[in-house]
Structure 1
Amino acid sequence: MKSFVQFLQTSMKAITDISPFPISVTDETGRIIGDSNPERIGTYHEPSADVLQRDIPQIFEKAAVSTMENVLPGVAVPLYFDNERKGVLGLVGEPDEVLPYARLMKQHVEMVWQDTVRQRIDDLESAILDAFIQYILSAEELDGEKVVQYCDMLEINPTLKRYCIVIDLRDTLLRRMQEHHHMSATAHFRKILLDSVDAVFGKTPEDLSAFLNTEKIILIKAVTSDDIYWKELDLFREKGTQLLKLLAAHDVKKVSMAAGALSDGLDDLARSYHEAERLIEYGRDHGIQPEIYSYQQWDILVSMLPDRLDDGYKQKLSERFAALYRDKQFPDLAASFEEYCHHNLNISKTAAALFIHRNTLIYRLKKIETITQLNLTRFEHCTLLWIALKT
């Protein structure tokens, strides 16, 4: 009942603005809690109890109310909320004129109330979901009982395999807030962005999505098998490209995204999240375009290979190629070799791409072989030098 009173008190102006007649609202005890005439608020309206009990509109003729205390001519109708009679809406005026409006106003007030309750429930569920996601991604060790409680409240199946998709929007929301200065506009924009992510990646009832902060959206996808996970990763770049186009239509231009590893359950989900974060950071640092990353992409794995070698192995390579690094022509030699690898060890295509004579390229490659004792016609030897140059 308290929430009903609060709703009417905060919504009274909007209700009176659309009514062509003065209105009055009483609670289930007959106390007036809202009225076009503020002086009547808090007073008792005795006929309201009868309206609630009989559960039908009551007409109050002018002659009849002349002998009644605090009762005005018009029509009173019961208000229903959550399938229960909670109060009475009265419209003041000639009953014949007021009655058609009374029914419409009753429907309007009840509908607005239901929408308000539904929005509050949605906001509460969203807040609980946000807290749950933050918890499972940041806690050093998950409390099993706490996870079960969250899953029960949010109707989440904790046994499904899941993986994280992280979408980094950078400072998009902060700029939006600075430009518009309205939290309601920002909240609406957040919903547009979240709905865009959900739509592109086909969010299901088992999936979870939320803003982690003002910069990042997380989508936690649920899958029933490893095969489905890999199939979804096959489509990740395609769907990511669709999302970039959709966000660009809303003037969101700088976006990065990545998909993390598959986890067997919620207790291992943080690993997937952190993997996606590392992919975004790595992709940005190395200028990999488009900014849509996953380990399903061979170019990502190849690019990351040199950084995954242990320091001891890197040191060995550095020592082995020290003479090459010291050569005065090293910048030209290294650039020519990398282009040679890029063109699959094809001398003619490499020379054309470098805009140099074929013999010039052969000279440079031969010089590398002389210094390093590598055979640059062998893929394995080229791989070693390529790794060394990338480290």
Structure 2
Amino acid sequence: MILEHIAQTVSEDTTKIIGYPVSISDSNGYLIGVSDPKRLGIFDKLLFKVVKRKELIYWGNEHVQNLPGIFPGVAAPIIVNGKVLGAIGIVGKIKKNEETDKYIQLVKNHIEMICHESFKKEMNSLEVKALDTLIHYLLHFDSNNIEYDLKHITRYGEMLGYDLTIKRICIIIDIDTLAINESRTHHNSLSLQQIQQELLEIVRYFFMSNKQDIFGQLNFEQFGIFKFMNSEESDIEFIKRIESTIKKFNQHLNQKYNLYAAISIGDSKSGIIGMKQSYQNASKALIAGKKTTIDPQVYHYNNWDITLEILSNELPSDFFNNLSQDLLPLINHDNFSTLATTFLVYCKYNMNLSKTARNLYIHRNSLIYRLEKIKELTSLDTSNFEHCLLLYLVIKQHKNLDGASTKGMETIRGMRGQI
């Protein structure tokens, strides 16, 4: 199958290089690559003889006089991984000497190398598809038919050589599509597919260190890895090791493609259900982490800052709707962006006025004025932790904060005297 795909191209290209017509047959002796397309499909008895005998053979005019469409020359079998795929013949090279032997061996080796590389790529492609299928099963099994699905997934994993009962932790690598497209503008010679393939290889190189690691592409932007957890290594030691790997990975990504990946880490779990939970938690950490200013962009599910962000994401929408109604005077205020940013920084520095003012580059009195303004608009006491927690959750959740959290810090320094 592989030889049939490349035979005609190899025949034409090799004929141009060596100056002699080149014929290639399949394992049944039928021509699949010839310099004269009219001969395609002809049964070549002599090439078939080469396939059967698995050895180099010369033949002269006397051998082909009763074989129409067949010409004298020299031929050798094409063998890949111990299997004879067909035969290669050089028409017109009938004199048995060292030069002819080199010609045929060179062409034979060239074709075998191409077939071997094509076979390797095909096997890698099949392996990738099999792993993608396994990951799909792991992440989308039917909870209503769980017993049957778990048995099916376990068998499929065993077939691929994976023990799905052991402890693993999910890592999600997220590379923004826009960033990939921007990278292409700096690498005009690379197609999107080529960059995607190279990214696959880079992720595999940096993160695949154990045969029980399961790796696949989750979607166009994301790669998923279920890392094997060694029982002799604590979770803390593992995280430190992975953080070191992530740092090297992102440095390489930045140097080669001017890209940077956001990476989330779930929690360690055992079994198929545990792997799905670890993935779900890594996904929550990624969504929550992107709303924070954590840098570098490595988000741990067990990180307390991420946990708080996840909590705000998972609280019922009615809770926020009701609170937002009560806080409309603040939300609709012209300076909501600045007030919201001020309050978040105030919370970040543990409600410490001096530290907050210093990090906002404003006078302490200006900070107190803004907090008093918030109190006036909301009736919430900004010196009360419980009141601050409610306001913090609403502000973090509110859609207008997308601009407030990023632009607020950029403009706040120029607004010291306005509020």
Shorter-chain TM-score bucket reads 0.7 to 0.9
The code of the aligned residue for 1:35 comes to V
Alpha-carbon distance in 2 for matches of 1:156, 1:288: 35
C-alpha displacement at 1:258, in angstroms?
Answer: 0.7
Q: 2:418 matched to 1:388?
A: no
- Whether 1:105 and 2:104 are equivalent positions in the alignment is no
Alignment partners' CA distance in 1, 2:142 and 2:211: 27
Cα separation, 1, equivalents of 2:192 and 2:339: 53
Which residue of structure 1 lines up, in the alignment, with residue 58 of structure 2? 59
Separation (CA, whole Å) in 1 of partners of 2:126 and 2:367 = 67
Aligned residue type for 2:88? L
- Give the whole-Å Cα distance in 1 for the aligned partners of 2:60 and 2:118: 34
Work out whether residues 260 and 275 of structure 1, in 8 Å CA contact, stay in contact via their aligned partners in 2. Answer: yes
Give the Å deviation of 1:255. Answer: 3.5
Residue matched to 1:135: 137
CA separation of 1:23 and 1:262: change in aligned 2, threshold 3 A: same
SS for the counterpart of 1:285 is: coil
Question: Which runs of 5 or more residues in structure 1 are unaligned?
Answer: none
Match in the other structure for 1:209: 215
Distance 2:247 2:294 in 1: 14
Task: State the distance in 1 between where 2:373 and 2:189 align.
Answer: 65
2:204 corresponds, among 194, 198, 203, to 198
For 1:245, which of 248, 251, 273 is the aligned residue?
Answer: 251
User: Alignment RMSD, CA only?
Assistant: 4.4
Alpha-carbon distance in 2 for matches of 1:360, 1:3: 75
Conserved? CA contact 1:173–1:215, under 8 Å: no
Deviation, structure 1 residue 131:
1.7
Question: Identity over aligned residues, as a percent?
Answer: 27
Tell me which residue corresponds to 1:48: 47
C-alpha distance 154-292 of structure 1, shift in aligned 2 (>3 A): same
Contact 1:52-1:88 within 8 A present in 2 as well = yes
1:278: which partner in 2? 284
In 1, are the aligned partners of 2:267 and 2:302 still within 8 Å (CA)? no
2:91 is aligned to: 92
Structure 2 unpaired stretches of 5+: 394-419
TM value normalised by structure 1: 0.76
* Counterpart Cα distance in 2 of 1:354 and 1:33: 75
Deviation at 1:184, TM superposition (A): 8.2
Q: In structure 2, what residue type is equivalent to 1:30?
A: G
Assess if the C-alpha contact under 8 Å between 2:284 and 2:301 holds in 1: no
- Once the two structures are TM-superposed, the CA of residue 92 in structure 1 deviates from its matched residue by 1.6
Deviates more, 1:170-179 or 1:46-55: 170-179
The offset of 1:106, in angstroms, is 1.2
Could you tell me whether the CA contact under 8 Å between 2:171 and 2:226 is conserved in 1? yes
**What amino acid maps onto 2:391 in structure 1?**
L
State whether residues 51 and 87 of structure 2, in contact with CA within 8 Å, keep that contact through their aligned partners in structure 1: yes
The DSSP-based 3-state class of the residue aligned with 2:67 is coil
Alpha-carbon separation, structure 2, partners of 1:357 and 1:185: 53
Corresponding residue to 1:290 among 296, 307, 312: 296
Determine if the alignment matches structure 1 residue 222 to structure 2 residue 192: no
Deviation at 1:36, TM superposition (A): 1.4
Report which stretch shifted further, 211-220 or 194-203.
194-203
**Preserved contact between residue 2 and residue 118 of structure 2 (Cα < 8 Å):** no
The count of residues paired between Structure 1 and Structure 2 equals 379
Say which of 67, 90, 96 aligns to 1:69: 67
**Alignment-derived partner of residue 171 in structure 1:** 177
